[in-house]
């Protein structure tokens, strides 16, 4: 796959990209081995929508006609929440996640957004810690109620993802 050998290029997503992004998010989430009931609820209650793309910053990287990575932020009161951060299975372990994280944090820095928070699957804790995010507790999953890690990334901290 080309994208695993080259720098990912990101562009702002449009509502026309929704089906591609939903498919990528579903496949990425299913990678962790969640069951059919969980994935059905994920698709109905959490997966990205056209409305989210219209109303929030969402950026996608393509490999030909396939979405291979995307992130999406939303305002959360006076701050920001990282709602979506998904990468294709083929890109795992090839530095693509780090490239996407750097794109996200550069985008935030250019807009004077010093901090955002997010929840993640327990399997991704190590990645986010390497990127400089700090776990600050556990929240309940909106999908199945299980405890999931909550993180905060503050740009005023060191930048391990840049080194």
Q: How confident is the model at residue 112 (pLDDT cuts 50, 70, 90)?
A: very high
Tokens 């080194």 belong to which residue? 163
Report the alpha-carbon distance of residue 137 to residue 100 in Å, rounded: 24
Q: What gap in Å lies between CA 129 and CA 161, rounded to an integer? A: 10
Q: How many CB atoms are closer than 10 A to CB 103?
A: 18
Domain spans in the chain, listed from the N-terminal domain onward: 7-162
Q: Which of 35-44, 51-60, 147-156 has the lowest mean pLDDT?
A: 35-44
**Edge to edge, what strands does the sheet with 66-76 contain?**
10-12, 58-63, 66-76, 79-87, 115-119, 147-154, 134-140
Q: CA angle 115-72-17, nearest 5°?
A: 165
pLDDT band for 146, please (50, 70, 90 cuts): confident
Model pTM score: 0.88
Residue pLDDT, tens place only, 48-73? 999 999 999 999 999 999 999 999 99
What is the per-residue pLDDT for 92? 84
CATH 3.40.630.30 describes domain 7-162: yes
């Amino acid at each position: 796959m080309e994208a695993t050998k080259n720098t990912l290029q990101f562009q702002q997503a449009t509502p026309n990209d929704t089906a591609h992004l939903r498919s990528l998010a579903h496949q990425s989430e299913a990678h962790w081995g969640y069951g059919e009931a969980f994935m059905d609820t994920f698709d109905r209650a959490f997966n990205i929508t056209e409305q989210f793309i219209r109303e929030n910053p969402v950026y996608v990287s393509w490999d030909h006609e396939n979405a291979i990575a995307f992130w999406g932020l939303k305002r959360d009161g006076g701050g920001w929440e990282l709602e979506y951060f998904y990468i294709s299975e083929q890109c795992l372990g090839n530095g693509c996640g780090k490239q996407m994280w750097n794109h996200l944090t550069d985008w935030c820095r250019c807009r004077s957004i010093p901090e955002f928070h997010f929840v993640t699957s327990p399997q991704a804790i190590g990645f986010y810690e390497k990127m400089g995010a700090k776990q600050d507790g556990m929240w309940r999953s909106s999908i199945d109620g299980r405890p999931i890690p909550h993180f905060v990334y503050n740009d005023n901290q060191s930048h391990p993802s840049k080194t």
